[in-house]
């Protein structure tokens, strides 16, 4: 890919904005909403940037004078070389529930099946040292959730997380593993085979760039994604000091429902779940009653849309990563200019795409 084509790629600017010093997830979201995408952020004037709440003069200067584009190009090359997908906030594939949290990642690195449904997710989490009881109840709950069409979300840690993912895969269900490392760094290494199974039958997601090692600080931060993309969090077995309680804390802050499986009062691995119930968490007394409660939170099935003609669908697919200019669109599609313009006009009249200044086009939700 030439430098000019690289710069035209909207993903280039997503990666760049995330690397600007002082621009965290909250400001990324504000800027993207204000300028309808990251590319326009870098061409905005200091005055325009400072009209966005919280963007001070020093931050505006760091955006205007950003000098990390060499690192962005290196990351873009690794993404393409390893065939990693990147799902941005403006992409229709981005988990809708995750958009609602205060600090959603501006984009997620993804590997696996792109068609994995992420709008009806339940997080199943727990201790790394489960008892036979914890493993069995996790398997039974996940099996029934899979039968009811829920997607199982967890963190692929050893213990309950691994049991949840493995059970979903075994019963041909959908599962999503949220990592605290780069998508090219399997952690723990013992779960390498499980990671391959998940990639074949579901999705692996992370907000961390390629090559990111398993830093201790990443995992509590990652847990907000597990809870944030889920309708509810189920804790099947956990001690009082389990890292699972961080996920629970995120879930409560995000307004998500939390359910806990009661356990023996003599078991340390049930002290956390028993306390959650005592503090007002939903008690899992039977799996049937749990599923009935979860079904009440599930969004209604979307009405089926009329199937697009193949060439229209190709255009829509080429617009999946945010605003794209006409030249880039033509190069991606290999259609002649007149044909692309004709299709875009039809889709714009149907409300499927919208034209932005500078002959740039974006797909509508």
- For the stretch 157-198, pLDDT in tens is 999 999 999 999 999 999 999 999 999 999 999 999 999 999
With respect to residue 305, please indicate whether it lies within any of the assigned structural domains. no
Which residue range(s) make up the domain with 38? 3-81
User: Per-residue pLDDT for 6 more than 60?
Assistant: no
pLDDT confidence bin for 325, thresholds 50/70/90 = confident
Region of poorest pLDDT, from 241-255, 265-279, 291-305:
291-305
Model pLDDT, residue 305: 52
For residue 195, give both structure tokens.
Answer: 């990671």
pLDDT confidence bin for 2, thresholds 50/70/90 = very low
With respect to residue 106, please indicate whether it lies within any of the assigned structural domains. no
Same structural domain, 177 and 28: no
With respect to residue 128, please indicate whether it lies within any of the assigned structural domains. yes
**Contacts by 290-298 with C-beta closer than 8 Å and gap 24+?**
290/141, 290/234, 290/259, 291/144, 291/145, 291/148, 293/257, 293/259, 294/122, 294/145, 294/148, 294/150, 294/231, 294/232, 295/148, 297/231, 297/232, 297/257, 298/120, 298/150, 298/231
pTM (2 d.p.): 0.80
Same structural domain, 185 and 328: no
How many domains are contained in the chain? 3
pLDDT confidence bin for 345, thresholds 50/70/90 = confident
Same structural domain, 292 and 315: no
With respect to residue 304, please indicate whether it lies within any of the assigned structural domains. no
Sheet holding 324-325, edge to edge: 324-325, 360-363, 353-356
Cis (ω within 30 of 0) for the bond into 192?
no
Model pLDDT, residue 111: 94
User: Per-residue pLDDT for 1 more than 50?
Assistant: no
Same structural domain, 28 and 128: no
Same structural domain, 61 and 200: no
């Amino acid at each position: 890919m030439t430098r000019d084509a690289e710069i035209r790629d909207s993903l280039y600017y997503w990666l760049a904005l995330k690397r600007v010093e002082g621009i965290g997830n909250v400001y990324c979201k504000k800027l993207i909403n204000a300028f309808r995408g990251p590319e326009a952020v870098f061409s905005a004037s200091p005055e325009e940037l400072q009209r966005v709440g919280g963007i001070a003069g020093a931050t505006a200067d760091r955006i205007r004078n950003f000098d990390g584009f060499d690192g962005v190009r290196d990351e873009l090359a690794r993404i393409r070389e390893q065939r990693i997908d990147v799902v941005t906030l403006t992409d229709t594939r981005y988990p809708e529930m995750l958009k609602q949290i205060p600090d959603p990642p501006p984009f997620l690195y993804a590997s696996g099946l792109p068609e994995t449904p992420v709008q009806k997710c339940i997080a199943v989490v727990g201790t790394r040292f489960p008892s036979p009881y914890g493993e069995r109840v996790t398997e039974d709950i996940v099996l029934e959730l899979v039968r009811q069409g829920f997607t199982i979300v967890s963190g692929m840690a050893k213990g309950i997380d691994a049991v949840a993912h493995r059970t979903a895969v075994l019963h041909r269900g959908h599962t999503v593993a949220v990592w605290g490392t780069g998508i090219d760094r399997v952690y723990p290494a013992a779960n390498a085979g499980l990671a391959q199974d998940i990639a074949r039958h579901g999705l692996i997601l992370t907000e961390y760039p390629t090559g990111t090692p398993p830093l201790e600080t990443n995992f509590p931060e990652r847990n907000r994604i597990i809870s944030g993309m889920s309708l509810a969090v189920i804790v099947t077995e956990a001690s009082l000091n389990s890292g699972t309680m961080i996920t629970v804390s995120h879930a409560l802050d995000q307004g998500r429902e939390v359910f806990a499986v009661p356990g023996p009062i003599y078991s340390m691995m049930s002290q956390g779940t028993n306390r959650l119930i005592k503090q007002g968490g939903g008690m899992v007394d039977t799996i049937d009653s749990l599923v009935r409660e979860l079904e009440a939170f599930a969004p209604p099935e979307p009405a089926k849309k009329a199937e697009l003609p193949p060439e229209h669908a190709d255009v829509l697919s080429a617009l999946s990563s945010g605003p794209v200019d006409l030249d880039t669109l033509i190069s991606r599609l290999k259609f002649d200019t007149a044909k692309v313009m004709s299709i875009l006009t039809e889709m714009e009249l149907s409300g499927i795409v919208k034209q932005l200044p500078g002959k740039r086009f974006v797909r509508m939700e």
